[in-house]
Amino acid sequence: MDNIQIIALKESVLEDNDQDAKALREELRSRGTCLLNLMSAPGSGKTSTLLALNRAFAGRLRWAVMEADIDSAVDAKTMQEAGVPTVQLHTGGMCHLDADMTRQGIRALPIRDAELIVLENIGNLVCPAEFDTGAAINMTILSVPEGDDKPTKYPLMYEKCSVLVVNKIDTLPVFDFDKSRMEQAARMRNPDMEIFYISAKTGEGVQELADALVAKVKEWNAG
Amino acid sequence: MDNIQIIALKESVLEDNDQDAKALREELRSRGTCLLNLMSAPGSGKTSTLLALNRAFAGRLRWAVMEADIDSAVDAKTMQEAGVPTVQLHTGGMCHLDADMTRQGIRALPIRDAELIVLENIGNLVCPAEFDTGAAINMTILSVPEGDDKPTKYPLMYEKCSVLVVNKIDTLPVFDFDKSRMEQAARMRNPDMEIFYISAKTGEGVQELADALVAKVKEWNAG
């Protein structure tokens, strides 16, 4: 499929994922790489947000993307066509990635010196939240059509995330979505959560998110 | 929380879930009950579809709903206020239900002689598809904002489902959603899939879905 490199992930044999994740995080930091774990429900717009960020990064970051999916290479193809170094990871039915699977992906990336690596996790609000991938930043996307009650229904995901991106804000007039209700529920899970409102489609809010991420990555990599 | 019965599900100790699911399905059939397993991504509109169906059933079915969630009793409260016998099931973090957990829910329902029991499964397109709950009908909701590529990305879910409900069709003008592309991908997974287009919000298409479900339930229960 158009030169997309597809890696079939092997299930981890390690007992202690937390330990392994911590080791991966430190290893990455020592070589100046920030790993961002991007999570959301299916269809929240992970890939289109990454495409919009790529335009807004405007060459300020050397970055790469790992697209994790049960099957298909649709998203990796999209990212690669946009000029972002990409690898497609297939979990073979597994619902999440752990640190060892993440490491398998990083080794398969076509570049070695990325300042930012984004892991686009499986579209799932439950299982990915349970496994530390070694990421320095956990970021969740909530799209407006999903409703403002998601932080109440998927508490662990919101507890684990430090950055929340509310996507598809161009559709706010079409849906009943109460921003303050959502924010209140999200901050109950994580009082320090940073929240960005964007439309990956129209570009609204994307520059602010991109600038904040660039700053976070540079700060992390400076150690 | 307003007299909502909340059941904390115990993890199944049974080795063979397929065997157990088969036994539950036959047991339910023998007492004239059809179990429908309702699955979707978070925010596709499972609960609002059930509310719309309740109006469209117009008393033709004795039915009950089991609301499965990680946490919260938001959905059970909504259904109970609409007059539908309901129980809230808490999985305590687990990402799916199996047959034994489903049975725990059925035993806790406030009615014994339901012709239809709907299990509103955890919002997740991956794990619930892997476990037979004992349902006679597996139904998935795909909402328009999620995109037309979901059958390609979550193949097992589409393989397991016999009824696909495409919800939020009132938002078709706002999103790029190619019906024929979606249908083609869905039927690749299950050629016999029945597809219904509805808007739980405006009511469009709901009567046709309700009529089809009433017919299916009566046929199943007639054995």
Q: What is the CATH number of the domain that holds B130?
A: 3.40.50.300
Q: Is residue B119 part of a domain?
A: yes
Rounded distance between C-alpha atoms, residue B85 and residue B131, angstroms: 25
Report the complex ipTM. 0.89
Rounded distance between C-alpha atoms, residue B116 and residue B35, angstroms: 6
Q: Is residue A168 part of a domain?
A: yes
Q: Is residue B1 part of a domain?
A: no
Q: Which residues in chain A have Cβ-Cβ distances shorter than 8 Å to B154?
A: 42, 70, 123
Q: Is residue B121 part of a domain?
A: yes
Neighbouring CB atoms inside 10 A of A21's CB total 22
Average pLDDT along chain A: 94
Q: Is residue B193 part of a domain?
A: yes
Average pLDDT along chain B: 94
Amino acid at B136: A
Assigned token pair, A58: 């405007």
Q: Which residues in chain B have Cβ-Cβ distances shorter than 8 Å to A145?
A: 43, 143, 145-146, 168, 171
Residue A208 structural domain: 21-218
Q: Is residue A130 part of a domain?
A: yes
Going by C-alpha positions, the residue among A200, A205, A166, A210 that lies closest to residue A185 is A166
Q: Using one digit for the tens of pLDDT, what is the confidence trace for A44-96? A: 999 999 999 999 999 999 999 999 988 888 889 999 999 999 999 998 888 99
B48 interfacial to chain A (CB closer than 8 Å): no
Q: Which residues in chain B have Cβ-Cβ distances shorter than 8 Å to A186?
A: none
Q: Using one digit for the tens of pLDDT, what is the confidence trace for B66-112? A: 999 888 888 999 999 999 999 999 988 889 999 999 999 999 999 99
Where residue B211 falls (left for φ over 0; alpha for ψ -120 to 50; beta otherwise) is: alpha
Contact at 8 Å (CB) between B156 and B150? no
pLDDT bucket at A1, cuts 50 / 70 / 90? very low
Output the pLDDT for position A8.
87
What's the full length of chain B, in residues? 223
Q: Is residue A10 part of a domain?
A: no
Rounded distance between C-alpha atoms, residue B35 and residue B64, angstroms: 10
Q: Residue B11 above 80 pLDDT?
A: no
Q: Using one digit for the tens of pLDDT, what is the confidence trace for B149-168? A: 999 999 999 999 999 999 99
Rounded distance between C-alpha atoms, residue B20 and residue B100, angstroms: 7
Q: Is residue A144 part of a domain?
A: yes
Query: Domain count of chain A?
Result: 1
Q: Record the pTM.
A: 0.93
C-beta atoms of A153 and B74 within 8 A: yes
Contact at 8 Å (CB) between B96 and B15? no
Where residue A96 falls (left for φ over 0; alpha for ψ -120 to 50; beta otherwise) is: beta
Neighbouring CB atoms inside 10 A of B191's CB total 7
B147 interfacial to chain A (CB closer than 8 Å): yes
